[in-house]
Amino acid sequence: MREIQFREALREAMSEEMRRDNTVFLMGEEVAEYNGAYKVSQGMLDEFGAKRVIDTPIAELGFAGIGVGAAMNGLRPIIEFMTFNFSLVAIDQVINSAAKMMSMSGGQYSVPIVFRGPTGSAGMLSSQHSQNFENWYANTPGLKVVVPSNPADAKGLLKTAIRDNDPVIFMESESMYGDKGEVPTEEYLIPIGSAKIVRPGTDVTLVSFGKMMKVAYAAADEMAKNNVSVEVIDLRSVRPIDYKTIVESVKKTNRLVVLEEAWPLASISSELAYHIQRYAFDYLDAPVNRVTSRDVPLPYAPTLIEAILPSVDRTVKALNAVLYR
């Protein structure tokens, strides 16, 4: 094991897969000459050359479409969006082409493509650069949606995503690129659709993913001060969802809180609340609770951002609500 940054783990995953398979290439805005907007692809142009690390114009619809066509013809593109807010410009290619091609072609064409880049709030970037669309993409049959929370998971999941024969949405947090964590030196893969119990507990289950895992850990620490044992689960992917791990945890703790950064309506937490009441209702000692962003566009002012995003305080209150209702 060695400690590396989140961005370095992503770079290692892409570079290792590009060395392993010459059909893999990276394309997006500033990925080559500038070494990536967040320096994720630093040095890759020097190693792999301009035919495999490709700078694009500011034209997400165009280069996403090129990627889909390349994937249909035997290549394995990694398409980087500078932020998933900009993926909305390309959403027709993602939803109507990549996700549906296998079905529409009767199995004649697979689309082994990864769309990756940062998601969610990253400071004072205001309404159009701070959105979470994990639940949007997770709503689409034909896509897999991955949201890692640490460098080790990021590397293992990205390598799996690149090898997958179906399109994968791989969402990172801009504010986590500098985070450090232990990553194995040997090659490893992490299967998509496998949640992880990152902190065993007995009193209440807390489920989250992505950078909200930081809030989950902090909230669990606060509850531990009052001798409350919180079982923390990192989903890692939101399509497919590892329902079994969550159901088994709720059968043990009898309570569930779901924490995510997206807006509340039709969210991943909504889906989990339904699933648990459907398949673990008799084990629940309290209604499922959830913590999300407030139902408004994110503003610029830091004080308002703090009030709108999920917090440790709001999460602790939600945990207490299912414990002491």
Catalytic residue, chosen from 129, 134, 174, 271, is 129
Q: Please check whether residue 112 is in contact with residue 166, taking contact to mean a CB–CB distance below 8 angstroms.
A: yes
DSSP per-residue codes, 95-158: IIIITTHHHHTTTS-----EEEEEES--SS--GGGS---HHHHHTSTT-EEE---SHHHHHHHH
Give me the DSSP letters along 8-48. Answer: HHHHHHHHHHHHH-TTEEEEETTSSTTS-TTSTTTTHHHHH
16 is catalytic: no
β-pairing, 256-259 with 53-55?
A: unpaired
Q: How far apart are CA 286 and CA 283, in angstroms?
A: 9
- Taking the C-alpha atoms of residue 116 and residue 19, their distance in angstroms, rounded to an integer, is 19
Q: Which of 60, 80, 134, 172 is catalytic?
A: 60
Q: Token pair of 231, please?
A: 């079982």
Is residue 60 flagged as an active site residue?
yes
Structure tokens of 79? 């398409």
**Active-site residue numbers?**
60, 129
